[in-house]
Chain A
Amino acid sequence: MQLRPQIQIQTIIKAMMEDVIPALDQTNQLAMQSAQLTIGTLTMIAQHLPLEYRYDCDELARLIDAAAKLREQAQGGTQTEQAVLALRAALESGREVLDRARAEPSEIVEAVGLLRRATGDTVRAVYAESEPSVRDAVDATVLEVSKEQLLRDRSWLLMQGWEPDPGAVPAVETLLRPVGAV
């Protein structure tokens, strides 16, 4: 997916700064302040977006360490015992989730890119030197995988309004498998 928030935010900020803000009534303080805050917020989102997942995993790892210590340290009455039980459950759940969170989102995108390039190169090579029967088989595989992926791409961008028959495109939530089920 080429249309990602990074490039969208970058172009929105440029349009705001070069076209929208200069056209505003410069004496309208509310409008000027809101426009500046819009740019500031978008700039912050652009900075945070690539790090958000790492940020959360980092916090989870430190909380797991702290919870492990607390589990040993916390002693007291019934109330403390119940709290430690809940802490232990949360600790195990957190460890299990962190254990599965082994790849950075950027690594997933890189792996997708690598496979896309390798697939494209294979297609070109087959067309350059293989038998028609091999070519036909490769065509069928690429067309099939493209069909499934493009359905998701089109659904992802449905609100842009490009589809002649938007009702025929399922909602993207129904098309994406949960990460654990992949």
Chain B
Amino acid sequence: MTVIDKDKPSPEWIAQMRKRFKVEREIDRALTFKLEKRAGPAYSKLPLDTLVEGVRSLIASQYGEPFDIRNPHWLAGGASKLQMRFDLNWNRPGVGRETTRMVLRNDLAEALHATSRAREFQIVNALKGTLPVPPVFWYDNTGEHLPYPGIVYGFAEGVTKPSNAKSGVSGLGTYMPEDVRNKLAPQFVENMARLHTFDFRQAELSAFDIPQTGTENAHWAVNWWDRVWEEDADEEVPLVALASSWLHKHAPAVEQLSVVHGDFRTGNYLFDESDCRITTWLDWELARIGDRHQDLAWSTSRAFATMAEDGKTLLVSGLMPEPQFLEAYEQASGLSVDRKSLHYYQVFNAYAMVGMTLGTSYRVARNGKSHQDVLLAWLLGVGYMLLDEMRDLIEKGP
């Protein structure tokens, strides 16, 4: 048997991965970029000045006037990105001379997702005016200016949870008090409905491939995580092989394609704590054009749910019971919820999360590629609960 050293992938093996799994072109580029860099050095702490110089180079390459970077400092949070806050004094187009608060989100040597900053930039720009999204200014897709790829956003105000709320790592299991969730829940549904009815065909989304209606989008999605599993996992899991085969076999057709966020849940929006208004949707790196049921299923995952005060009602994304959520979504969007597709994407999402945790978290931590390897190794443990959720879903059927 040929032993593949996934820590030092050969060009032949990388070519084999690219050929074997049909994914969108920009996703292929990001995954290939990851593999080509893998044998390189582990992540080592970057001085703040290195990021400042990288941002300076990035801005200078795309903005022709004088500017000044002030008050740079680290920003906490984010298991898969380094974040730096800074103030930019510049002649902002359409505004004039001002100081704008900004955030650099910089990739690591490897992280939980190997994704594209170009896609992130395009989708956030495209959704301006449709959803509350942060302003996005510049990106570096290949680490030409920054130590690793990165993107510069305007600083967004708000909190991910009430100041006194409890939550697990990465915002999982955030408990929202009843008065807060009663205000957030309708906005959560309304925002999802607006996203799924957004006319993406008129937007500049050249880093996205648009699948045919029918089953093509589902196969592309499964191929993405098939490839991630193949590239990152150390230990084979027979249930993963079964789930992949099952997902390809049962791919549902979609008649109306939508922009899918890919990580639509509590923890990925900010809200104003004084009036509970959602101010910004974050973390667009998994966005794709596909089936709305992917987001619906993601939001309803057990991994993001919390229990209501009665101890028996599971709240979707910590906000509302599932039947109420789905009914409100149908009303807000005018789109139907197909139970079979919802079930399919619940299996799919568990499959993707298993890939991220048991596959990617392991590989990144093993090779010391991130600033939070200890957190990624810890996250690996949730993979077994997710596997069991996936098993249960396949066994019970829609």
A binding-site residues for B, Cβ under 8 Å: 1-3, 7-8, 10-12, 14-15, 18, 113, 116-117, 119-121, 123-124, 126-128, 138-139, 142-143, 145-147, 150-151, 153-154, 156-157, 160-164
Residue B305 CB within 8 A of the other chain: yes
Interface residue SS majority, chain B: helix
The residue of chain B having its C-beta at the shortest distance from the C-beta of A156 within the complex is: B384
Q: By the criterion CB–CB under 8 Å, are A116 and B236 in contact?
A: yes
B binding-site residues for A, Cβ under 8 Å: 45, 168, 234-242, 244-246, 248-249, 302, 305, 307, 314, 358, 362, 365-366, 368, 371-374, 376-378, 380-385, 387-388, 391, 394-395
Q: How far is the CA of A15 from the CA of B45 in the complex (A)?
A: 11
Q: List 14 A-B contacts (CB under 8 A).
A: A3-B380, A7-B366, A10-B365, A11-B377, A113-B236, A119-B238, A128-B245, A142-B238, A143-B242, A145-B238, A153-B384, A163-B385, A164-B302, A164-B307
Residue numbers in A under 8 Å from B371 (CB-CB): 18
Q: By the criterion CB–CB under 8 Å, are A117 and B242 in contact?
A: no
| From A14, A116, A123, contact of B373 by CB (8 A) | A14
Q: By the criterion CB–CB under 8 Å, are B391 and A147 in contact?
A: yes
Residue numbers in A under 8 Å from B388 (CB-CB): 147, 150-151, 153-154
What are the 4 closest A-B residue pairs judged by CB atoms, nearest first? A120-B241, A127-B245, A153-B384, A15-B374
Q: Closest Cβ of chain B: how far from A32's Cβ, in Å?
A: 19
| From B238, B305, B384, contact of A157 by CB (8 A) | B384
Known: A143-B394, A160-B381. A120 touches B374 (CB 8 A): no
List 19 other contacts, CB 8 Å, given A145-B238, A162-B385: A3-B377, A3-B381, A7-B366, A11-B377, A15-B374, A123-B238, A123-B245, A127-B245, A139-B242, A143-B395, A146-B391, A147-B391, A154-B385, A157-B384, A160-B378, A160-B382, A161-B168, A162-B384, A163-B385
Q: How far is the CA of A15 from the CA of B374 in the complex (A)?
A: 6
| From B242, B246, B248, B362, contact of A2 by CB (8 A) | B362
